Amino acid sequence: MKLRSIIVLTFLFSLAIQGMAQISWKKQEAVDNLPLQLFHSPQSINLPTAETLQKGDFEFEISHRFLPSIKDGSKNLYGFDGPVNMRLALGYAVTDDLVLTLGRSNVDDNFDLRGKYRLLQFKETFLPLLVGVQFGIAKNTQPIRQIASSGRAYQYFGQIIFNTMIDKKLGIGLVPSYLYNSNIYRADVQNSFTLGMNLQYYISNMVSVLAEFNPTVNGYLNRFNSAAFGFELETGGHFFKIILTNNAKLNPAQFLSGADKDFGNGEWRLGFNITRLLKF
Amino acid sequence: MRKILFVCLLISVEFFSQGTELHVKQGSKNHVEFISDAPFGKFSGVTENIDGYMYWEGNNYTTNSSLYFEVDLKTLDTGIGLRNRHMRDNYLQTDKFPDASFKGKITNVTPAAQGPFKVDADGEMFIHGVTKYIKISGVLTKSGNSDYNLKTNFSIKLSSYNIDIPSIMMVKLSEVIELQLNFNLFSVNKAEGKK
């Protein structure tokens, strides 16, 4: 080998090294640390979704159910003349996975304190799955009728929430629920087991339609299984739902015991939920 | 003959080690902030997830220089969970475009004997699937034996990157977003690494 060719080769070699390996920085493999999020709102109509808030977020809720059914027509302005059941609530995210909510309804002046915890997430499965649990205690501070003992003013409930979503558009929820002391006016303690289910289809970034069915599978049922449907508007900080339902109760301990109207007979009532995210 | 080969190899290694290469130092309180200052309210998205490198050869910083920085947009935190989600899903579409990046070269350095000096760069800004040619200036400070700090501020227009300005937001978004970056780098050069 001639000296010159070696030098040329070396020069080419060094250029090659420079061209190939002059920069040692490598792009890191992307890791997806984001929590799985399916439904947009932490709540369907009455049933919870497994969604929580970000740590430190507050959520204020005001919801109404107008008691006259729309079947009564313009005489009661389709329900707007009232009377009305209402719920006010404030939730706070203690962590990214735990939300505590204190609520009050004007029905029997029912206060409830509930905690919802995002338990499990499965991102890589055929369909994503999010599992949450919710537990609550409610006290009816001013029952309109006599109750047997002061202990009967308390109600307890627990719910397991299974959520999935198809193609980021169709959210599906299954919410087996248990309520202890379903009817505070009955002499004996009643339990209710229900199998709540909810669907929500997201038409656009802002608009979705949703429906809910909460059949009682075992135990006490007020009169009818609850059903509701409506639409949801979503903005930067609000969820605004306008719905029709046969169950005018709002607080979970009261809602889970069933409806007093028959939707099979067209006895739907107007209602709305407004939630507002707050950060202080 | 072997000696010559050896010398040539040394020369090539010497060539190789001439460049200075800086990498972003992870976990060093890096700060990237996107600021929207609209008439009805100011808010910002913050992340510390920036990565990338700067490279140059010789002493004038511009020879064979290149730089690349990328910011993980999925981790931008505006302080409110729902707003983060809207930003990711509706506006930045981070499923498709997880990073914003800048790839370019150093065009000019205003030297200083000691302390910070100004670095001008130009290249391609990539956000939301759109690439734009821009010029950025920053201040590079040598903060330790092989440590550096880089600060830069500049603005981008959302419409230039096909990002819709949300019409109904809790806080209105500004059309011009100001970026503030302040992050740390370290030199990966072998010579310095041995010290």
Cα B165 to Cα B167: distance, rounded to the nearest angstrom? 6
Longest dimension (CA), chain A: 112
Going by DSSP bridges, is the β-strand pair A84-93/A98-105 parallel, antiparallel, or unpaired? antiparallel
Whole-angstrom distance, CA of residue A163 vs CA of residue A50: 7
Tokens found for residue A235: 């903005």
Q: Which residues in B lie closer than 8 A to residue A128 (C-beta atoms)?
A: none
Contact B1 A205 (CB under 8 A): no
A219-241, pLDDT tens digit by residue?
999 999 999 999 999 987 889 99
- Of the pLDDT bands very low, low, confident and very high (cuts 50, 70, 90), residue B169 is low
Interface test mutation site (partner B, options A17, A25, A276, max chain B beta carbons within 10 A): A25
What residue ranges do the domains of chain B occupy?
2-194
Strand partners, A194: A177, A216
Amino acid residing at A204: S
Q: What is the ipTM of this complex?
A: 0.81
Name the closest residue on chain B to residue A54, using Cα atoms: B81
Report pLDDT digits (tens) over A167-217: 999 999 999 999 999 999 988 889 999 999 999 999 998 899 999 999 999
Mean pLDDT computed over B52-63: 86
Question: To probe the interface with A, which of B82, B85, B88, B189 has the most A CB atoms within 10 Å?
Answer: B82
Instruction: Domain ranges for chain A, please list them.
Output: 35-278
User: What are the backbone dihedrals phi and psi of residue A103, each rounded to the nearest 5 degrees, phi first?
Assistant: -135, 160
Tell me how far the alpha carbon of residue A242 is from its chain's centroid. 15
CB contact under 8 Å between A205 and B90, yes or no, is: yes
- Assign domain B2-194 to its CATH architecture: Beta Barrel (2.40)
Residue B143 DSSP code: -
Span A103-117, pLDDT tens digits: 999 999 999 999 999
The CATH code of domain A35-278 reads 2.40.160.40
pLDDT over threshold 50, residue A20:
no
Half-sphere exposure of B14 (CA within 13 A, CB side): 8
* Chain B positions in Cβ-Cβ contact with residue A14 (cut-off 8 Å): 11-13, 15-16
Yes or no, beta carbons of A7 and B8 under 8 Å apart: yes
Q: Does B192 touch chain A (CB under 8 A)?
A: no
